[in-house]
Amino acid sequence: MKAALLYGVGDLRLVDIPKPDPAPDEVLMRVTVCAVCPTDIRKFRVGNGGVLQFPFNMGHEWVGEVVEIGDDVEDVKIGDRLLGGGYAGYAEYAPLGGVALRPVNGKPLIVPPDVSDEEATFVEPLADAVHSIVDQGKVTIGDTVLILGAGQLALQHLMVAKAVGATVVVSEPIAERRELAKQFGADHVIDGSSTEEVVAAVNDLTDGKGAHAAIVTIGSPEASITGLAAVRPRARVVLFGGYDRGVQTMLDLNIIHYKEIELTGSYWVGVPPFGNLDLYGVAMNLIREKKVPVADLITHRMQLEEIHTAFDAIRTKSGLKAIIYIGASPNGRAAGTP
């Protein structure tokens, strides 16, 4: 079967590998679509610090159809569309088992008929945004939230914050992305070129009090400093954007101490031992109920053979979200069809 594997930093290859057989407690999925995640781009650029051995399959935001069922699996059937899990999505077929097969309350997450394959690829990152906004940021109705960055993950945070009932301020230095933030419902957008400008703008919007929470969606030490400076006492600052390995910065610890700020990270809903994959179900419902227009974030639809072009589009910020179709054309594909 065809697959796209990373053999080293900057070395992404299209290869033929054996089709896997499912273990007794697994199912075999025919992968239909896999989204390109920013962490894929970071692994492509700088590797993964030895967490995964080369070569490996980076695709983890994928959806597929059950084509084979292991002897011990009784809760899915051939043809079910399931949310994928694990690093396997840039390939024609992938095994699915364990927690990845049953992520929500110990049950499989079957994609409902009124959610497309493309939309379903957003379940995992949208659940991460819910975790970031609600669990880590403790955002509630009436809060003012500062989101630093306006990439596709930032815009998913924007959607979740609006669904919660918050007022959202987006800081982004790129004018085109500020316009996108407006289109996706930001109450205010500001040029994030300097900390001083952001703090002044947030203070103007909050009668000098500052934001209740700041979500740093970009891996920039400067953005983290800005987030700390722009919030009110007893606010929350959430570091969501990943940093290149070894990145360090200087923080004014007195800001954290005297303003009693909660500074926390947010990475993935499933981080052990306290992970909560039940939020996948929450994210699926948000998509199904059309409360978050995630499909509007898609700017590129390509086939597996075009994966290098898709990576370039996301790496150079000429696109927001790229969807890779596995073994099928993206043109005219209906929800859930092969």
Q: State pLDDT tens for residues 56-97.
A: 999 999 999 999 999 999 999 999 999 998 899 999 999 999
Query: What is the phi/psi pair of residue 234, to 5°?
Result: 60, 30
> How far apart, in whole angstroms, are the C-alpha atoms of residue 330 and residue 335?
11
Let me know if residue 26 belongs to a domain.
yes
Let me know if residue 133 belongs to a domain.
no
Same domain, 182 and 68: no
Same domain, 62 and 178: no
Let me know if residue 128 belongs to a domain.
no
Helix, strand counts (H, E) of the chain: 11, 14
**In whole angstroms, how far apart are CA 154 and each of 60, 68, 72, 278?**
19, 37, 40, 22
Let me know if residue 224 belongs to a domain.
yes
In terms of residue numbers, what domain contains 42? Answer: 2-123+272-325
Region of 261 on the Ramachandran plot (φ > 0 left; ψ -120 to 50 alpha; else beta) = beta
Q: State pLDDT tens for residues 212-268.
A: 999 999 989 999 999 999 999 999 999 999 887 788 888 999 999 999 999 999 988
Listed residues 249, 265, 281: the one ending a domain = 265
Question: What is the structure's pLDDT at 331?
Answer: 57
Same domain, 287 and 185: no
Residue 266 token pair: 């947010």
Same domain, 83 and 191: no
Strands, E, within the chain: which ranges? 2-8, 11-16, 26-35, 61-69, 81-83, 93-97, 144-148, 167-171, 188-190, 211-216, 231-239, 262-265, 298-303, 321-325
Let me know if residue 334 belongs to a domain.
no
Residue 276 token pair: 């909560």
Tell me the one-letter amino acid at 285. Answer: N
Tell me the one-letter amino acid at 329. Answer: S
Question: What is the structure's pLDDT at 245?
Answer: 78
Domain count, the chain: 2
Let me know if residue 253 belongs to a domain.
yes
SS3 154: helix
Tell me the one-letter amino acid at 278. Answer: D
Burial readout 24-56 (b: 16 or more C-beta within 10 A, e: otherwise) = eebbbbbbbbbbbbbbbbbbbeebbeeeeeebb
pTM of the full predicted structure? 0.92
> How far apart, in whole angstroms, are the C-alpha atoms of residue 3 and residue 9?
17
Residue 40 token pair: 């894929």
Let me know if residue 284 belongs to a domain.
yes
Question: What CATH number does the domain containing 19 carry?
Answer: 3.90.180.10
Same domain, 20 and 116: yes
Same domain, 6 and 61: yes
Per-residue tens of pLDDT for the chain, all 338 residues: 999 999 999 999 999 999 999 999 999 999 999 999 998 998 999 887 666 789 999 999 999 999 999 999 999 999 999 999 889 999 999 999 998 899 888 899 999 999 999 999 999 999 999 999 999 999 999 999 999 999 999 999 999 999 999 999 999 999 999 999 999 999 999 998 899 999 999 999 999 999 999 999 998 999 999 999 999 999 999 999 988 778 888 899 999 999 999 999 998 888 777 677 899 999 999 999 999 999 999 999 999 999 999 999 999 989 999 999 997 666 544 333 33
Let me know if residue 9 belongs to a domain.
yes
Burial readout 302-315 (b: 16 or more C-beta within 10 A, e: otherwise) = bebebbeebbebbb
Question: What CATH number does the domain containing 251 carry?
Answer: 3.40.50.720
